[in-house]
Chain A
Amino acid sequence: MDYLLALAATGVIMGIIYALMAMGLTLIFSILNVINFAHGEFYMLGGYFSYFLLTLFTGLNPFVAVFLSGLLVSVIGLIFEFFFLRPMHLGRIERPPEYAVLITFGLSFFLQNLALAVFGPYPHRPTSFFSGAVDLGVVRVSTDRLTASVLSLILLGLLLLLINKTWIGKALQAVSQNKDAAAVVGINPLRMNTIAFSLGVGLAAIAGALLAPSFSIMPDVGAVPSIRSYVIIVLGGMGSIPGSILGGVLIGLVESLGAGYFPDPSRGLTYKTSFGLIIFALVLLFRPRGFFGRKER
Chain B
Amino acid sequence: MKAKDNFSLSLQWILGGILLVIALLVPLFAQTYWLHVLIIAYFYALLASSWSLLAGYAGQFSFGHMAFMAIGAYTTGLLGRYFGIGPFLGIIFGTLMAGLMGLAIGALVLRFKASYLALFTIAFSEILRMILNGESDITRGDQGLSIVPLLGEEIISRVPYYYIMLAVLLVCMVLMYWLANSRVGLFLRAIREDEEAAAARGVNVVRYKVLTFVVTSMIAGLAGGFFAHYITLITPNIMIIPQMGLVIAMAIVGGVESLFAAAMGGIIIQVSLEVLREFGAWRLVIFGALLIITLRFARDGLIAPIMQKVMGTAPKAELRTQTDAQKVAKEDVLDES
Chain A interface residues toward B at CB < 8 A: 35, 37, 83-84, 87, 91, 93-99, 101-103, 105-114, 116-117, 178, 180, 220, 223-224, 227, 230-231, 234, 267, 270-271, 273-274, 276-277, 280-281, 284-285, 288, 296-297
**Residue contacts A-B, CB under 8 angstroms, 6 given:** A98-B59, A106-B248, A110-B289, A113-B288, A280-B123, A284-B120
Q: How many B residues touch the partner, as a band?
A: 35 or more
Question: Residue B291 at the A interface, CB < 8 A?
Answer: yes
* B245/A109 in contact, CB under 8 A: yes
B116 to chain A: closest CB distance in Å? 7
The interface stretch among B35-43, B126-134, B146-154 is B126-134
* B134/A234 in contact, CB under 8 A: no
B145 to chain A: closest CB distance in Å? 18
Extra A-B contacts (7), CB below 8 Å, given A288-B112, A297-B111: A84-B292, A106-B245, A109-B248, A223-B126, A227-B127, A280-B120, A281-B120
* B118/A274 in contact, CB under 8 A: no
Known: A106-B288, A276-B123. A98 touches B114 (CB 8 A): yes
Across the interface, name the chain B residue whose C-beta is closest to A234: B119
In the complex the two chains form, what is the Cα distance from A203 to B240 in whole Å?
25
* B112/A230 in contact, CB under 8 A: no
The interface stretch among B4-12, B304-312, B317-325 is B317-325
Question: Residue B203 at the A interface, CB < 8 A?
Answer: no
Question: Residue B280 at the A interface, CB < 8 A?
Answer: yes
In the complex the two chains form, what is the Cα distance from A288 to B252 in whole Å?
31
Residues in B neighbouring A87, C-beta threshold 8 A: 296
Q: Which of B279-337 contact A (CB under 8 A)?
A: 280-282, 284-285, 288-289, 291-292, 295-296, 299, 317, 320-321, 324-325, 328, 332, 335-336
Report the number of A-B residue pairs with Cβ-Cβ less than 8 Å: 145
A112 to chain B: closest CB distance in Å? 6
Residues in B neighbouring A102, C-beta threshold 8 A: 61, 248, 252, 295
Residues in A neighbouring B252, C-beta threshold 8 A: 102, 106
* A178/B248 in contact, CB under 8 A: no
Residues in B neighbouring A110, C-beta threshold 8 A: 285, 288-289, 291-292
In the complex the two chains form, what is the Cα distance from A84 to B293 in whole Å?
9
B203 to chain A: closest CB distance in Å? 16
Residues in A neighbouring B324, C-beta threshold 8 A: 94-96
* B122/A113 in contact, CB under 8 A: no
Known: A94-B321, A98-B114. A284 touches B108 (CB 8 A): yes
* A267/B296 in contact, CB under 8 A: no
A63 to chain B: closest CB distance in Å? 31
B131-146 contact mask (Cβ, 8 Å, vs A): 1 or 0: 1011000000000000
Residues in B neighbouring A224, C-beta threshold 8 A: 126
Question: Residue B264 at the A interface, CB < 8 A?
Answer: no
Question: Residue B124 at the A interface, CB < 8 A?
Answer: yes
* A281/B108 in contact, CB under 8 A: yes
Residues in A neighbouring B295, C-beta threshold 8 A: 99, 102-103, 106
CB-contact partner of A35 in B109, B115, B242, under 8 A: B115
* B248/A273 in contact, CB under 8 A: no
Across the interface, name the chain A residue whose C-beta is closest to B109: A284
Question: Residue B249 at the A interface, CB < 8 A?
Answer: yes
B117 to chain A: closest CB distance in Å? 9
In the complex the two chains form, what is the Cα distance from A178 to B336 in whole Å?
8
Residues in A neighbouring B281, C-beta threshold 8 A: 113, 116-117
Across the interface, name the chain B residue whose C-beta is closest to A88: B296
B127 to chain A: closest CB distance in Å? 4
In the complex the two chains form, what is the Cα distance from A111 to B122 in whole Å?
17
* A271/B288 in contact, CB under 8 A: no
In the complex the two chains form, what is the Cα distance from A230 to B61 in whole Å?
16
A103 to chain B: closest CB distance in Å? 5
Known: A109-B248, A223-B241, A280-B120. A285 touches B108 (CB 8 A): yes
In the complex the two chains form, what is the Cα distance from A280 to B117 in whole Å?
11
* B332/A114 in contact, CB under 8 A: no
Residues in A neighbouring B130, C-beta threshold 8 A: 270-271, 273-274
CB-contact partner of A231 in B55, B111, B123, B336, under 8 A: B123
Residues in A neighbouring B240, C-beta threshold 8 A: 220
